[in-house]
Copies of this chain bind each other. A is one copy, B any other.
Amino acid sequence: MIPRYSRPDMVAIWSPETKFRIWYEIEAHACDAMADLGVIPRENADAVWKAKDVEFDVARIDEIEAVTKHDVIAFLTHLAEHVGSDQARFVHQGMTSSDVLDTCFNVQLVRASDILIDDVKALLAALKRRAFEYKDTVRIGRSHGIHAEPTTMGLTFARFYAEMDRNLNRLEKARYEIATGAISGAVGTFANIDPRVEEHVCEKLGLAPEPISTQVIPRDRHAAFFAALGVVGSSIENIATEIRHMQRTEVLEAEEFFSAGQKGSSAMPHKRNPVLTENLTGLARLVRMAVVPAMENVALWHERDISHSSVERNIGPDTTITLDFALARLTQVIDKLVIYPDNMLANMNKFRGLVMSQRVLLALTQAGVSREDAYKLVQRNAMKVWEEGRDFKTELLADADVTAALSPAEIEEKFDLGYHTKHVDTIFARVFKEEA
């Protein structure tokens, strides 16, 4: 985790304080269930809740762990210091450390998902606002980085909206994948603990009981979770790449926002760097790099080995913190992106109408000109534009062979941008699922 690329709410999920709090809740709810089942005395279960408002002392727990060499035991020892060691003697009965650790990890991932889901929703709101704002702002569409046909800036935002909307769905699925808990004992047989304890704890924590666990919750769930995050990261790179292209000096169709203060640095007004989106490109790589190790974690030996643990200690916090930061940063970029419609028009006209050559070609053939002749007509006028810098429409209107086939009005029509934007509303209605 790199502090400069992190936000406090997500960081807090991964703090020792939060972790111990979740451990506490797991243990306390488990005691409740065991008391209900008559396995332990009710008063001992009640006693555990005395620590309900305690802020656990992380330094003290670390101190105990330095002796016991076992994190869960250290916590339980500290808990007993609050509850009273006699009262606390049934805490954790029949459970293994993994019951606590794995269930806690999933609670953390679920909470992380909730933040990420909210992040994406905020991003969607920004994208939608900007999409409608620039719905009809024409710019040139490019394939292979080369001018193709006109599109609109609104469509660009709309396609990012649609992509992020799919990512919202993926994150919701990822959250669902990971929202399970397990209190099933050393090898998952419930030999020493009743399955109803698991059911109770999970219900209280907003989880589903893992249908079958071993010592651990199966790691295909986590692999799917981090894979989903990797896809979201890749979409962030996609949007960031578009903005970086738009901001490059020769294109200049958009710029990342710059505060009034930054504006002051206008001794070099041409030198505003898309550093936020470049940074997002790098962050996407960081999010993505968790995917393969998460998949390598799936094949644990027999009922568990601990190879996954160090991986998850890293990618659990790092990947969610990075993605949260990246989504928030992207939302800010989108929200404040400075758009230059005039430059969009200027770029489109760089080759004075040539982008319409294919429409003209089609129109000529539809008007009965043979494909070969139509091609020659377009070519001879196109080359004047390309080599001599003339205007395509003007040349066509002055070419008798062209005007023999197409009337001036018909030629004019081929240069009408409305032709290209006529279905924008249809697309918006599809994307935003409402009348555009």
Contact = CB atoms under 8 A, between A and B. Distances in A.
Nearest to A4: B313
B143 A215 contact: yes
Contacts of A296: 234, 285, 296
A119 B106 CA distance: 30
Contacts of A357: 267-268
B224 A231 contact: yes
A383 B266 contact: yes
Given A142-B303, A241-B301, 19 more contacts: A140-B249, A141-B187, A141-B215, A142-B302, A146-B248, A148-B186, A151-B303, A159-B213, A159-B214, A163-B220, A192-B359, A192-B362, A220-B238, A227-B227, A245-B302, A267-B378, A281-B305, A286-B293, A291-B295
A51 interface: no
Contacts of A281: 299, 305, 307
B355 A299 contact: no
Contact of A143 (B155, B285, B302): B302
A159 to B, nearest CB: 5
Interface in A100-136: none
A242 B302 contact: yes
Contact of A144 (B140, B212, B278, B297): B278
Interface stretch (A25-33, A74-82, A269-277): A269-277
Given A155-B188, A266-B386, A350 B279 contact: no
Interface string A314-330: 10001000000000000
A76 to B, nearest CB: 13
Interface in A234-253: 234-235, 237-238, 240-242, 244-245, 247-251
Contacts of A185: 149
A426 interface: yes
B431 A299 contact: no
B250 A278 contact: no
A285 B219 CA distance: 15
A146 to B, nearest CB: 5
Interface string A31-57: 000000000000000000000000000
A190 interface: yes
A56 to B, nearest CB: 19
Nearest to A170: B224
Contact of A162 (B211, B267, B274, B385): B211
Interface of A: 2, 4-5, 140-151, 155, 158-159, 162-163, 166-167, 170, 173, 177, 185-192, 195, 209, 211-215, 218-221, 223-224, 227-228, 230-231, 233-235, 237-238, 240-242, 244-245, 247-251, 266-275, 278-279, 281-286, 288-293, 295-311, 313-314, 318, 347, 350-351, 354-355, 357-359, 361-362, 375, 378-379, 382-383, 385-386, 419-424, 426-427, 430-431
Contact of A249 (B145, B213, B299, B378): B145
A295 B427 CA distance: 26
Contact of A227 (B149, B214, B231, B383): B231
Contacts of A223: 230-231, 234
B313 A2 contact: yes
B189 A141 contact: yes
A212 B158 contact: yes
23 contacts: A144-B274, A145-B247, A146-B274, A148-B271, A162-B218, A192-B359, A195-B423, A223-B231, A223-B234, A231-B295, A235-B298, A241-B301, A242-B302, A249-B347, A267-B357, A269-B382, A269-B383, A278-B305, A278-B306, A279-B306, A282-B311, A285-B311, A289-B292
A351 B270 contact: yes
A277 B96 CA distance: 21
B299 A234 contact: yes
Nearest to A325: B310
A305 B166 CA distance: 22
